[in-house]
Amino acid sequence: MIGRLWGTGTALLVASIILLSFFNYEIPTPLVYLTALAFFGGAGVFIFTRGLTIYVIKRCLGAVFVMWVIATLTFVLLRTLPGGPFDSEKALPPEILENLAKKYKLNEPLINQYGDYMYNLLQGDLGQSYKYINRGITSIIAESLPNSIQLGVYALIISYMIGIPMGILAGWKRGSWVDFSSMMVAMSGQSLPSFLIAPIFIMVFAKQLGWLEPALWEGPTYYIIPMVVLGIRPAAVIARLTRASVLEVIHSDYIRTARAKGLDQKTVLFKHVLRNSLIPVLSLSGPLAAAILTGSFVIEQIFAIPGIAKHLVLSVTNRDYPLILGTTLLFSLILVVANLVTDLLIAIVDPRVKMG
């Protein structure tokens, strides 16, 4: 009971932060602290009481290993790639190239450079950008990540808000026109690249109707088109999965029993079917986070949103080695954490799940 109350409270706190950020209100710092406390405290207590401590520690150690492999792999791939950070249309004289190489230690043996990078990484230093002279990678991330998280979270929420009701309705009324049409809509949403959906939305809602803004990232009227365009694909995936799992649950023995006992249809739906069919959907959060991360580059580019995905892609074009490595590691970290959180969430919702 306490657990449930705690969970609801934390969810409400998170929701209030998201709503405040959406409407561009200043988020009070105590609220952030409170939420963090509730979230991590709750998670800690849960992990401890369920005897998951060792499992979580193991996963974290595994994550560190994974990050190390990724850092190494990216480092090697980058250095195999022709073209250096200081190649430009106007070629530089050798004296200047040498000064630059000396400054950024690019003339040292690769193994030393790798060692230096790893050593600094261990101390939490991601280095300095080559392209954005004098800017630290950490500060670039600190300035652009919040916008990307905002975009990603909105997209995720909108996709759940559209996908779940649609999937439930389709599964519950299977075979009807509701089922058919909502599945067709979901499929259509999956069948167009977002860089084709975005201009259509801009054309209709910004240019023709004038309800929303065509680009930039300033307030609610700016947020809606990007988050919907980014959320369409995940929404479609969620809707289809929800439908499938609703179908499966409906045909399971205990629901049949419940129905046979003559329980009210709605009670069956909301008490039994929903809870059980949402578990597989929840387990999709990790891959969905990955999909949204990948998709956000296109959206950030088209809507001129100052986010981190843009850096991830453009830094390759600029051969800005520290920035590529930093953003890649960041994205990997997000993926790893998202997967861990998803697994823990499933454990919370479904006590039958065994971990470890």
Partner 1 sequence: MGASKTTGRSLQHEAWIALRKNKVAMVSGFLIIFVCAVALLAPWISPYPFDEQYLDQVLAGPSERHWFGTDSLGRDMLSRLIYGARISMAVGVITAFVSLIIGTAYGALAGWFGGWTDSALMRIIDILDSIPSIILLILVKLVFEAADIIGNPELKALTSMLLALSLVSWVSLARVVRGQVLQVKQMSYVEAARSMGASQLRMVAQHILPNILGPVIVLLTFQIPSNILAESFLSFLGLGLQPPYSSWGVLANDGWRSMSSYPHLMITPGVAIFVAMLAFNLLGDGLRDAFDPQMRGRA
Partner 2 sequence: MVLFKSVFISCLIFTVGLTACTKKSNLEYGLDVKDTLRINIEQEPPSLDWSKAVDVTSSLVTNNLMDGLLEYNLADPELGVVAALATDWKASDNAKVWTFTIRKGVKWTDGVEFTGQHVIDGWERLLDPKVASEYAYFLFDVKNAKAFNGGKIKDFKEVGIKFNDEGQLVVELEKPMSFFPMLLTHHATFPVRKDLIEKHGDHWTDPDKMVSLGPYKLKLWDHDKNLVMERFDDYYGEKAKIKNILCYMINEYSTAMNLFEAGKLDFLYSLPFKELPILKTKPGFRKNILLSSYYYGFNIKKAPFDNVKVRKAFVHAVDRKQITDLLAADHTPMRGWIPPGMFGYEENRGLKFDPELARKLMDEAGFKDRAKVPRINLAFNTNENHQRIAENVQAQLKKNLGVEVQVQNEEWKVYLSRLRTDTPSIYRLGWLADFPDPSTFMSLMTSVSENNHTNWSSKKYDELVSEGGAALDKEKRRAIYSEAQKLLTEDEVPVMPVYAAARQVMISERTQNFPLNSIERYLFKGVSFK
Contacts with partner 2, 275-314, as mask; x by CB under 8 A: --------------------------xxxx-x---x----
- Considering only residues 13, 52, 155, 324, which one is a binding residue for partner 1 as defined by CB under 8 A? 324
List the beta bridge partners of residue 136.
128
CA distances to 18, 224, 289, 291, 301 from 154, in Å: 8, 9, 12, 14, 17
199 binds partner 1 (CB under 8 A): yes
317 binds partner 2 (CB under 8 A): yes
Of residues 119, 97, 117, 115, the one with CA closest to residue 107: 97
Q: Under 8 Å CB-to-CB from 261, ≥6 apart: which residues? A: none
- Considering only residues 74, 113, 139, 318, which one is a binding residue for partner 1 as defined by CB under 8 A? 74
Contacts with partner 2, 86-105, as mask; x by CB under 8 A: xxxxxxxxxxx-xxx-xx--
Of residues 309, 167, 145, 155, the one with CA closest to residue 236: 167
In the chain, the amino acid numbered 197 is I
Phi/psi at 188 (5° precision): -60, -40
In the chain, the amino acid numbered 143 is E
298 binds partner 1 (CB under 8 A): yes
294 binds partner 1 (CB under 8 A): yes
Q: Site residues for partner 2, window 237-276 (CB under 8 A)?
A: 266, 270, 274
Choosing among partner 2, partner 1, none, which partner's interface includes residue 313 (Cβ < 5 to 8 Å by kind)?
partner 1
- Considering only residues 190, 279, 282, 350, which one is a binding residue for partner 1 as defined by CB under 8 A? 190
Contacts with partner 2, 27-66, as mask; x by CB under 8 A: ----------------------------------------
349 binds partner 2 (CB under 8 A): no
Q: What length is written for the chain?
A: 356
Contacts with partner 1, 233-272, as mask; x by CB under 8 A: -------x------xx--x---------------------
Q: Choose between 10 and 147: whose C-beta lies nearer to partner 1.
A: 147
In the chain, the amino acid numbered 151 is L
Q: Choose between 265 and 294: whose C-beta lies nearer to partner 1.
A: 294
187 binds partner 1 (CB under 8 A): yes
Write out the residues near partner 2 by the rule CB under 8 A.
15, 19, 22-24, 81-84, 86-96, 98-100, 102-103, 131-135, 140, 143-144, 161, 165, 199, 202, 206-207, 213-221, 266, 270, 274, 301-304, 306, 310, 317-319
Write out the residues near partner 1 by the rule CB under 8 A.
62, 66-67, 69-70, 73-74, 77-78, 80-82, 174-175, 183, 187-188, 190-193, 195-196, 198-200, 203, 207, 240, 247-248, 251, 290, 293-294, 297-298, 309, 312-313, 316, 324, 327-328, 331-332, 335-336, 339
